[in-house]
A and B are shown apart, each in its own frame.
Chain A
């Protein structure tokens, strides 16, 4: 990164000169408020990655001009959303506002980015507004490869089939479908081949729906159709939960990839390779790629025609200079999960690096990121998986530390409390929520 140092400073000075009063930017070095701005950063996407980046740029950078563009008025969390789908909490438990970021001085813009001009360093919004930047951060989340499953897009458009893999209205709608389903009905869910957002998420969802049926609709069934050959995360712990708590309610089928979705009377049919599965409520988690913003608007997708390659020291795209990409959209380092927790960690690496780049300093050459993921297997009992990833200079990627990380010894209630506390802490960390 040292050789990127001088061109960066040159570009910055050029930008500063063009803006008149910003000629000293990048040289001030001090991070107190009230001095000249050290640069303008536009962050697109107010989820786990983007919000954290905005918060830490302000907290660590002092006088960085930070604008956060987000299309929704409020943040709704994917983590804990399965708990809501299971009926154990309401939407308010996973919904938070952006006022904490505003109070820090982050400029909040509710809108949709329609174009990115990386050469001119400008972002254009649907309403015509143009936002110039010195560094751009994009946290685009996931997009769905609905073209892989016949009939799926039309079913999603009509709201008959839900993915509920982006939290918000889809979360509330799936809960409503489950509540409306008569006892004795079948809830079927399909899991795409890896990689997808939140590896343990589908299995947690199966447990949460089964926990609801066990208590309120005991004649109903949960059918899990997994395109993968086995449970993809916390395998032994989920298999134990299926057998211990949901025998006769939950059925797990490996190597079952949904090919087509059709309507048959009041029911839905998931067509598999060898047979058809009828369901009253069908939840299809589609195959995934980097979000449309990365793909269509920014031209950032350069890995397997699916994900965004990044320099792990800065989170800068390997396709478009000056654009930093966070979270699920990135082409993951080995054993690095696509999770909200990891997106938050990406954002901190990016925020530290962007501040150093804006100041013309060398970036941290030894970043560390870690992941913790809690999954509910019953209303009270939770299992975790954790990992720590140190940067490997030789291979220019993050690698897990041998002997570190792991899963819960068994599902337990203490971690049930920790799971909810984790959520409150990470939401506060990213959104600067008041105590």
Chain B
């Protein structure tokens, strides 16, 4: 058995490995919060059914042929928009969970500034213009297009045939 061999060879190495295994099993068993470098690899494992509505960003994108080979570049743009929209989650995570964890560890609740950060819409528009100009060069005449970008997703509706833009949602 592997661990037995490690134990015979070096007790310290064995102790380290045992600790790693126990922590990984603990994080796996609890199934919620993780502690780097112990993670849960459960992406797309919960039940996911087709929804009526999805988020979509009204962005002038280049031809799909240009986009298809570089999902990283797409991610850079859309993940940034998505994460910006989700910034308020920092607040709830800090208010509900960070304090609780520190209290459980008999520590005082740390200052909010470590965990909460707000960025104004003008800054994210500048960042978005920079990303899109780099990722999709020559796609548009000017990044000015994006000064009108609405930094909130629009609803698209799944009608069992295709996703269509919800014309009733405000732009």
Do A and B actually bind? no
